[in-house]
Amino acid sequence: MPICAICGEDSNIVTQCKMCGEEFCPSCGDADDKVCTYCGAEGEDFIDDDED
């Protein structure tokens, strides 16, 4: 079972971050944008377009 590089927990689903390459679980990033929470916090181009 894959392990999340962010929280260290086992997860059935992991996504590879397009910025740093680490694999993260659904709780530790945005799977749709393929950005982990660390890179999302660093990069200002990771903005939720649904917010007005």
What does the pLDDT read at residue 29?
96
End-to-end CA distance of the chain: 39
pLDDT value, residue 25: 97
Q: What is the pLDDT of residue 50?
A: 54
What's the burial of 52, exposed, middle or buried (CB within 10 Å: 0-12/13-18/19+)?
Answer: exposed
pLDDT at 45: 52
Q: Provide the pLDDT for residue 41.
A: 83
Q: Would residue 21 be called left, alpha or beta, if left means φ above 0 and alpha means ψ between -120 and 50 degrees?
A: left
List the chain residues with pLDDT less than 70.
Answer: 43-52
